[in-house]
Amino acid sequence: MTNWRDYGAVNLPAPLRAALDAFVEHGYHGTSVRDIAARAGLSVPGLYHHYPSKQSLLQGLLELTMSDLLRRSEEALREAGVDPVARFDAVVESLLRFHMYRREQAFVGSTELRSLDPEYHRVYIGHRIRQQRMVDEVVLAGVSDGAFSTDSPKGAARAVATMCVGVSTWYRVDGPMSADELIAQNLDFARAIVGYTGRGR
């Protein structure tokens, strides 16, 4: 298992890698199973042997995406210990890194929510709620501890999470700032949103 800060190349099964590329390029509804099979180097029956439908490909991709995000966020929080500010910085950094280094998966997760069947839609929303609650809880703990001064902890937590997710729409590896510089800058923005008082980390 990799450290939560470590990101290499996206490691997906060939059908899911092919589906990701196709969904990013053409959208879910603009992508055919034949196109995904060709990208994966499989026949259509061969693809169906692994994934019985285009919907199962989308669900498989999003399930792997969310399990990776949640694992990294939980590991970041465990590593941070009990200090509310350290925990806040850790979960924010984890969200930022994920949406910087897994931009395409994050894009599909945001844009294809409408394409999920109702049963899995509920599951997927549950994953997103679980991630948001991590941010909610660290902000509430920081307010209780006096480290954060916001009078709207849940609203501030939503704003922080939205900012982190938004990084996926504009971050470029070859941009003018390094990844670590961008993370440091956005951590400052996140602390400003919650009203960091200077107490704690």
Q: Are the beta carbons of 114 and 62 closer than 8 angstroms?
A: no
Residue 71 inside a domain? The answer is yes
Q: Are the beta carbons of 47 and 15 closer than 8 angstroms?
A: yes
The Cα-based distances of 186 to 11, 52, 193 in angstroms read 27, 41, 10
Residues 104-116: what's their mean pLDDT? 94
Residue 144 inside a domain? The answer is yes
Residue 43 inside a domain? The answer is no
The Cα-based distances of 167 to 49, 92, 95, 173, 186 in angstroms read 36, 12, 9, 12, 9
Is a pLDDT exceeding 60 seen at residue 130? yes
Residue 41 inside a domain? The answer is no
Residue 4 inside a domain? The answer is no
96 burial via Cβ count (<10 Å: 0-12, 13-18, 19+): buried
The per-residue pLDDT for 169 is 87
Q: Is 72 helix (H, G, I), strand (E, B) or coil?
A: helix
pLDDT per residue as tens digits for the range 4-50: 999 988 899 999 999 999 999 999 999 999 999 999 999 999 999 99
Spacing of C-alpha 196 from chain mean position: 24
Residue 6 inside a domain? The answer is no
Residue 65 inside a domain? The answer is yes
CATH number at residue 61: 1.10.357.10
Dist CA 78 CA 90 (whole Å):
9
Work out the mean pLDDT of the chain and round it to a whole number: 95
pLDDT per residue as tens digits for the range 163-197: 999 998 888 888 888 889 999 999 999 999 999 99
Note down the domain range covering 176: 55-194
Q: Are the beta carbons of 92 and 186 closer than 8 angstroms?
A: yes
Residue 19 inside a domain? The answer is no
- Domain count within the chain: 1
